[in-house]
Chain A
Amino acid sequence: MQTELNLQQSMASTDKSPEPTPAKGSEPTPGKAMGVGQHLIDKGAMMIQSLEPIKQISHHACSFAIYSHDMSRQIETHHYCSRLHQNFIQCAVYDSDESDARLLGVEYIVPADIFETMPPEEQKLWHSHAYEIKSGLWVNPRVPEIIGPPELENLAKTYGKFWCTWQVDRGDRLPMGAPALMMSPQAASPGVVRSDLVLERDAKYNISSESLKSSRLEIPEPEMISPLADYWKQHGQGFAIDIEETQMKLRAP
């Protein structure tokens, strides 16, 4: 007997805001504060376990990202990156660099030559970094720019793929819904980051994106940015993920 549930109806969509429940609102993440017992367990674990992959995380970068399905929504991001090898960076992305930061998602970063090997359907999901770097939006907080430059030159030629799994800016107090594909700041609307966001971030770190932009003038522009990256630019389309019911493929008994 067919149930009332339309199998085509998605359980969740990137661009569908969850219903109002205590899990939505302006107050911070719900949940009791850590008790002593849990602290002790954590401390015990920390002393014994090696946490090797985490030790590889070596860089903090602060920048901005834009929802690909709704480019009026822009967020400040904090990337904690590790280099898997010379050609690949993987980042855990948070909404701040504070201890109560929320884990927003994951970004992967590859150089242009690797990006060029990807099929077109895949390239559409990636964004370029040249503008973000040269405009001074991407910063390494607390690292003097003098250590920066060769690294920045390399980064300016990379492409990133960033999935956001917690849409905190729409009031989700818990991570709800389907993941969102994020895009990078660009020079043209709607990829321009709102100035109030930039000013707020700059004030926090006592920096000026404008001055960084001047000091980064000499970073070479990539010869060309792939036409499929930053897909919205030439196609006026963004992306959303739907989560739908399907026939689960089961193990043979």
Chain B
Amino acid sequence: MSTHPQVLGGEPTQTGTYLRDTATSVIQNFDPINKIHQHLCAFHFYSHDMTRQLEAHHYCAHKNEEMRQCLIYDSPDKKARLIGLEYIISENLYLTLPDEEKRLWHSHLYEVKSGLLIMPKVPAAIQRLDMETVCKTYGKVFHFWQIDKGHSLPFGIPQLMMSVTRDGQIYDHLVKSCAERMGIDFEEERKGREYMTGPDHGIHPLANGGGKGLETRLREVNLKDDPTPPSGTRVSVV
């Protein structure tokens, strides 16, 4: 898929637009956004391709004690691109999912205990309180913008993402780059989290794709038919 440099360099927001933008945010009801309390930095890979890995900045709100909804950006900066979202649920909620659904979710145990999942700038003592909880949760992630392919726009179809589940999977250079930029000591966090435990019933065997690769595909649906999955025309989209 070709890139479009003119979009990448798009005009900065004009003054008039900026003034309008800030005025409205004061008047309108921003409750869903105001609930976003937490920045988590982690790494994802594509559920069909572990060689494609990237840093993901999550901005999370609690739906309730057992569920979080997160917006995922490619950086913690003003100009960050909204590339996806993640839902995080407790083990209790995960176990209520149908079996086929369970496969689309990934466990957080390794990510947390390895120190790779971080709350930037939050002192370790406070951070670990939350990590104890996150350690036992499952997440479901879709990315809509394949920035690692150099796409200047969110082309293509949603990508199911997964998280690393053991040593040796994450690229060292990714971790190093993140550590330097964010001022994080992953090793220290790993040591500090040794005491944590994962889901009470252990990681469900169906989680993390059930150990298999999963891939999203686009299908055209004839609108006159019943909305059940027929063998429709497969469309290839990069």
The complex places the Cα of A239 from the Cα of B2 at a distance, in Å, of: 23
Which A101-116 residues have C-beta < 8 A from chain B? 101-103, 105-106, 108, 110, 114
B109 at the binding interface (Cβ < 8 Å): no
B78 at the binding interface (Cβ < 8 Å): yes
What total count of A-B pairs have CB within 8 Å?
345
B219 touching A100, Cβ below 8 Å: no
B-chain residues with CB within 8 Å of residue A52 when the two chains form the complex? 76-78, 80
B106–chain A nearest beta-carbon distance, Å: 13
B221 touching A60, Cβ below 8 Å: no
The complex places the Cα of A43 from the Cα of B229 at a distance, in Å, of: 45
B203 at the binding interface (Cβ < 8 Å): no
The complex places the Cα of A42 from the Cα of B64 at a distance, in Å, of: 12
The complex places the Cα of A37 from the Cα of B133 at a distance, in Å, of: 11
A23 at the binding interface (Cβ < 8 Å): yes
B191 at the binding interface (Cβ < 8 Å): no
B25 touching A58, Cβ below 8 Å: yes
B228–chain A nearest beta-carbon distance, Å: 7
The complex places the Cα of A31 from the Cα of B77 at a distance, in Å, of: 32
The complex places the Cα of A253 from the Cα of B48 at a distance, in Å, of: 17
Partner of A50, one of B2, B62, B76, B89: B76
Partner of B4, one of A85, A117, A190: A117
- List 9 A-B residue pairs with CB atoms under 8 Å apart, sorted by A's residue number: A13-B219, A31-B90, A42-B38, A50-B39, A58-B21, A58-B25, A82-B82, A87-B11, A125-B237
**Interface-lining segment among A91-99, A206-214, A215-223:** A91-99
Which B5-52 residues have C-beta < 8 A from chain A? 6-7, 10-14, 16-17, 20-25, 27-39, 47-51
Q: A29-B67, A241-B158 are in contact. Are A86 and B11 (CB under 8 A)?
A: yes
Partner of A80, one of B30, B79, B142: B30
Chain B, residue nearest A147 (CB): B20
Which B51-90 residues have C-beta < 8 A from chain A? 51, 57, 59, 62-67, 69, 71, 73, 75-82, 84-85, 87, 89-90
B-chain residues with CB within 8 Å of residue A246 when the two chains form the complex? 48, 212-215
Interface string of B201-238 (1 = CB under 8 A from A): 00000000100111111111111100111001001111
The complex places the Cα of A241 from the Cα of B215 at a distance, in Å, of: 10
A126–chain B nearest beta-carbon distance, Å: 10
The complex places the Cα of A21 from the Cα of B94 at a distance, in Å, of: 11
A203 at the binding interface (Cβ < 8 Å): no
A106 touching B84, Cβ below 8 Å: yes
Which A30-86 residues have C-beta < 8 A from chain B? 30-35, 37-38, 41-46, 48-60, 68-71, 78, 80, 82-86
The complex places the Cα of A101 from the Cα of B64 at a distance, in Å, of: 11
B157 at the binding interface (Cβ < 8 Å): yes
Which B155-184 residues have C-beta < 8 A from chain A? 155-158, 160, 168-169, 171
B-chain residues with CB within 8 Å of residue A71 when the two chains form the complex? 223
B12 touching A86, Cβ below 8 Å: yes
A88 touching B7, Cβ below 8 Å: yes
The complex places the Cα of A253 from the Cα of B25 at a distance, in Å, of: 50
B-chain residues with CB within 8 Å of residue A31 when the two chains form the complex? 63-67, 89-90, 92-93
The complex places the Cα of A141 from the Cα of B24 at a distance, in Å, of: 9
B224 touching A236, Cβ below 8 Å: yes
The complex places the Cα of A243 from the Cα of B222 at a distance, in Å, of: 19
